[in-house]
Amino acid sequence: MSVHLFADEGLPKGPTWNDVQLLLANTKGDHPKDIRDHAIIMLFAIYGMRVGEVRGLRLEDLDWAKELIYLTRPKPRRRQSYPLSYIVGEAVLRYLKEVRPRTTWREVFLTVKAPFRALSSGSLYDVVSDRLRDLGVSLPHYGPHSLRHACATRLLAEGLSMKAIGDHLGHRKADTTRVYAKVDMAGLRQVADFDLGGLL
Protein backbone atom coordinates (compact mmCIF):
# COMPACT_ATOMS: atom_id res chain seq x y z
CA MET A 1 0.00 0.00 0.00
CA SER A 2 1.24 3.48 -0.81
CA VAL A 3 1.52 6.19 1.80
CA HIS A 4 -1.37 8.64 1.65
CA LEU A 5 -0.24 12.24 1.23
CA PHE A 6 -2.61 15.02 2.14
CA ALA A 7 -2.98 18.22 0.17
CA ASP A 8 -0.45 20.87 1.26
CA GLU A 9 1.51 18.13 3.06
CA GLY A 10 4.81 19.94 2.69
CA LEU A 11 5.76 23.24 4.26
CA PRO A 12 6.59 26.23 2.09
CA LYS A 13 10.22 25.92 1.03
CA GLY A 14 11.97 29.19 1.60
CA PRO A 15 14.94 30.69 3.42
CA THR A 16 14.56 32.29 6.84
CA TRP A 17 14.23 36.06 7.00
CA ASN A 18 17.72 36.18 8.52
CA ASP A 19 19.00 34.43 5.39
CA VAL A 20 17.17 36.96 3.23
CA GLN A 21 18.76 39.85 5.13
CA LEU A 22 22.16 38.24 4.67
CA LEU A 23 21.44 37.79 0.98
CA LEU A 24 20.61 41.49 0.66
CA ALA A 25 23.69 42.48 2.66
CA ASN A 26 25.87 40.44 0.30
CA THR A 27 24.59 42.39 -2.71
CA LYS A 28 25.46 45.78 -1.24
CA GLY A 29 28.37 47.15 -3.17
CA ASP A 30 29.43 49.33 -6.07
CA HIS A 31 29.76 46.64 -8.74
CA PRO A 32 27.08 47.11 -11.44
CA LYS A 33 25.81 43.54 -11.12
CA ASP A 34 25.51 43.88 -7.32
CA ILE A 35 23.56 47.13 -7.67
CA ARG A 36 21.17 45.55 -10.17
CA ASP A 37 20.78 42.28 -8.27
CA HIS A 38 20.17 44.08 -4.97
CA ALA A 39 17.12 45.81 -6.46
CA ILE A 40 15.88 42.58 -8.05
CA ILE A 41 16.18 40.55 -4.84
CA MET A 42 14.32 43.27 -2.90
CA LEU A 43 11.36 42.98 -5.28
CA PHE A 44 11.27 39.21 -4.84
CA ALA A 45 11.66 39.30 -1.05
CA ILE A 46 9.65 42.37 -0.03
CA TYR A 47 6.86 42.31 -2.60
CA GLY A 48 6.84 38.54 -3.16
CA MET A 49 6.93 39.05 -6.92
CA ARG A 50 6.97 36.18 -9.36
CA VAL A 51 9.74 35.84 -11.94
CA GLY A 52 7.46 36.95 -14.77
CA GLU A 53 6.41 40.05 -12.81
CA VAL A 54 9.99 41.20 -12.26
CA ARG A 55 10.93 40.31 -15.83
CA GLY A 56 7.94 42.24 -17.20
CA LEU A 57 8.34 45.30 -14.96
CA ARG A 58 8.57 48.38 -17.19
CA LEU A 59 9.77 51.91 -16.59
CA GLU A 60 6.21 53.23 -16.75
CA ASP A 61 5.20 50.85 -13.93
CA LEU A 62 7.14 53.01 -11.48
CA ASP A 63 5.25 56.15 -10.49
CA TRP A 64 7.87 58.20 -8.65
CA ALA A 65 5.56 61.18 -8.06
CA LYS A 66 2.88 59.07 -6.33
CA GLU A 67 5.43 56.61 -4.90
CA LEU A 68 3.61 53.62 -6.38
CA ILE A 69 4.68 50.48 -8.20
CA TYR A 70 2.26 48.78 -10.58
CA LEU A 71 2.15 45.05 -11.26
CA THR A 72 0.15 43.06 -13.77
CA ARG A 73 -0.50 39.81 -11.96
CA PRO A 74 -0.47 36.96 -14.50
CA LYS A 75 -2.93 34.63 -12.82
CA PRO A 76 -5.83 36.98 -12.07
CA ARG A 77 -4.63 39.05 -15.05
CA ARG A 78 -5.27 42.33 -13.32
CA ARG A 79 -3.19 45.37 -12.55
CA GLN A 80 -2.40 46.10 -8.92
CA SER A 81 -0.69 49.07 -7.32
CA TYR A 82 1.52 48.94 -4.25
CA PRO A 83 3.19 51.65 -2.19
CA LEU A 84 6.80 51.93 -3.33
CA SER A 85 8.77 51.48 -0.12
CA TYR A 86 11.63 53.88 0.45
CA ILE A 87 14.38 51.24 0.55
CA VAL A 88 13.12 49.48 -2.58
CA GLY A 89 12.69 52.79 -4.37
CA GLU A 90 16.22 53.84 -3.46
CA ALA A 91 17.66 50.52 -4.68
CA VAL A 92 15.81 50.68 -8.01
CA LEU A 93 16.64 54.36 -8.48
CA ARG A 94 20.34 53.71 -7.88
CA TYR A 95 20.26 50.97 -10.51
CA LEU A 96 18.49 53.23 -13.01
CA LYS A 97 20.89 56.13 -12.46
CA GLU A 98 24.19 54.29 -12.14
CA VAL A 99 23.92 51.01 -14.01
CA ARG A 100 21.05 50.72 -16.50
CA PRO A 101 22.27 51.58 -20.02
CA ARG A 102 20.51 54.10 -22.23
CA THR A 103 18.46 51.96 -24.56
CA THR A 104 15.07 51.66 -26.21
CA TRP A 105 14.16 48.70 -23.99
CA ARG A 106 11.28 49.61 -21.65
CA GLU A 107 11.85 46.70 -19.25
CA VAL A 108 13.49 47.91 -16.04
CA PHE A 109 16.07 45.17 -15.62
CA LEU A 110 18.56 44.54 -18.40
CA THR A 111 21.80 42.66 -18.88
CA VAL A 112 24.86 44.53 -17.59
CA LYS A 113 26.91 43.76 -20.71
CA ALA A 114 26.24 44.45 -24.38
CA PRO A 115 24.28 43.48 -26.33
CA PHE A 116 21.80 44.93 -23.83
CA ARG A 117 18.46 43.20 -23.57
CA ALA A 118 15.76 42.38 -21.03
CA LEU A 119 16.69 39.69 -18.53
CA SER A 120 15.30 36.24 -19.26
CA SER A 121 13.46 34.15 -16.68
CA GLY A 122 16.52 31.90 -16.48
CA SER A 123 18.79 34.85 -15.77
CA LEU A 124 16.52 36.02 -12.95
CA TYR A 125 16.49 32.51 -11.53
CA ASP A 126 20.29 32.49 -11.54
CA VAL A 127 20.48 35.88 -9.81
CA VAL A 128 18.78 34.39 -6.75
CA SER A 129 19.90 30.77 -6.99
CA ASP A 130 23.62 31.47 -7.35
CA ARG A 131 23.66 33.92 -4.47
CA LEU A 132 21.62 31.70 -2.14
CA ARG A 133 23.95 28.79 -2.83
CA ASP A 134 26.94 31.02 -2.10
CA LEU A 135 25.48 31.66 1.37
CA GLY A 136 25.70 27.94 2.09
CA VAL A 137 22.08 27.66 3.27
CA SER A 138 20.41 24.29 2.79
CA LEU A 139 17.18 24.59 0.84
CA PRO A 140 15.11 22.24 -1.33
CA HIS A 141 14.76 25.05 -3.89
CA TYR A 142 17.02 28.03 -4.50
CA GLY A 143 15.13 30.08 -7.05
CA PRO A 144 13.16 33.33 -6.75
CA HIS A 145 9.99 31.52 -5.67
CA SER A 146 11.75 30.62 -2.41
CA LEU A 147 11.93 34.35 -1.65
CA ARG A 148 8.19 34.61 -2.29
CA HIS A 149 7.72 31.95 0.40
CA ALA A 150 10.06 33.86 2.73
CA CYS A 151 8.03 37.02 2.13
CA ALA A 152 4.73 35.30 2.98
CA THR A 153 6.15 33.64 6.08
CA ARG A 154 7.53 36.96 7.33
CA LEU A 155 4.19 38.72 6.78
CA LEU A 156 2.47 35.97 8.75
CA ALA A 157 4.97 36.37 11.59
CA GLU A 158 4.27 40.12 11.56
CA GLY A 159 0.61 39.36 12.28
CA LEU A 160 -0.99 40.04 8.89
CA SER A 161 -4.19 38.16 8.14
CA MET A 162 -4.26 35.41 5.56
CA LYS A 163 -6.41 37.62 3.32
CA ALA A 164 -3.91 40.49 3.56
CA ILE A 165 -1.05 38.13 2.69
CA GLY A 166 -3.04 36.68 -0.21
CA ASP A 167 -3.80 40.18 -1.51
CA HIS A 168 -0.13 41.14 -1.21
CA LEU A 169 0.95 38.08 -3.18
CA GLY A 170 -1.81 38.43 -5.76
CA HIS A 171 -3.54 35.16 -4.87
CA ARG A 172 -6.99 34.63 -6.33
CA LYS A 173 -8.07 32.04 -3.76
CA ALA A 174 -7.62 31.84 0.00
CA ASP A 175 -6.63 28.16 -0.37
CA THR A 176 -3.43 29.26 -2.10
CA THR A 177 -2.39 31.24 0.97
CA ARG A 178 -3.46 28.84 3.72
CA VAL A 179 -0.31 26.71 3.45
CA TYR A 180 1.63 29.51 5.14
CA ALA A 181 -0.40 29.05 8.33
CA LYS A 182 1.51 25.80 8.81
CA VAL A 183 4.76 27.64 9.45
CA ASP A 184 3.33 29.84 12.22
CA MET A 185 4.58 27.54 14.96
CA ALA A 186 4.00 30.11 17.72
CA GLY A 187 0.38 30.49 16.65
CA LEU A 188 -0.10 26.73 16.43
CA ARG A 189 1.32 26.30 19.95
CA GLN A 190 -1.22 28.81 21.27
CA VAL A 191 -3.99 26.75 19.70
CA ALA A 192 -2.54 23.55 21.19
CA ASP A 193 -2.34 25.12 24.67
CA PHE A 194 -5.86 26.53 24.57
CA ASP A 195 -7.83 25.42 27.64
CA LEU A 196 -11.12 23.97 26.46
CA GLY A 197 -12.36 23.62 30.04
CA GLY A 198 -15.57 21.66 30.21
CA LEU A 199 -16.19 21.65 26.48
CA LEU A 200 -14.79 18.12 26.06
pLDDT at 44: 92
DSSP E strands in the chain: the ranges are: 62-63, 68-73, 78-83
pLDDT at 168: 66
Query: Among residues 28, 75, 79, 172, which one is catalytic?
Result: 75
Is 79 a known active-site residue? no
> Are 40 and 92 within 8 A, CB to CB?
no
pLDDT at 152: 82
Query: Among residues 55, 100, 154, 171, which one is catalytic?
Result: 171
pLDDT at 112: 95
Is 180 a known active-site residue? yes
CATH class (in words) of the domain with range 17-184: mainly alpha
Is 171 a known active-site residue? yes
pLDDT at 176: 56
Q: Which residue ranges make up each domain of the chain?
A: 17-184
pLDDT at 118: 97
pLDDT in tens, the chain (200 residues): 555 444 444 545 688 889 999 999 999 999 999 999 999 999 999 888 889 999 999 999 999 999 999 987 666 567 888 889 899 999 999 999 999 999 999 999 999 999 999 999 999 999 999 999 999 988 888 899 889 888 888 877 777 677 776 676 665 665 555 555 555 545 545 444 545 444 43
Query: How far from the centroid of its chain's Cα atoms is residue 180's Cα?
Result: 14
Query: Among residues 145, 149, 154, 168, which one is catalytic?
Result: 145
Parallel, antiparallel, or unpaired: how do β-strands 68-73 and 78-83 relate? antiparallel
Is 106 a known active-site residue? no
Query: Among residues 38, 100, 148, 154, which one is catalytic?
Result: 148
Q: At what angle do helices 144-157 and 121-135 cross, to 10 degrees?
A: 60
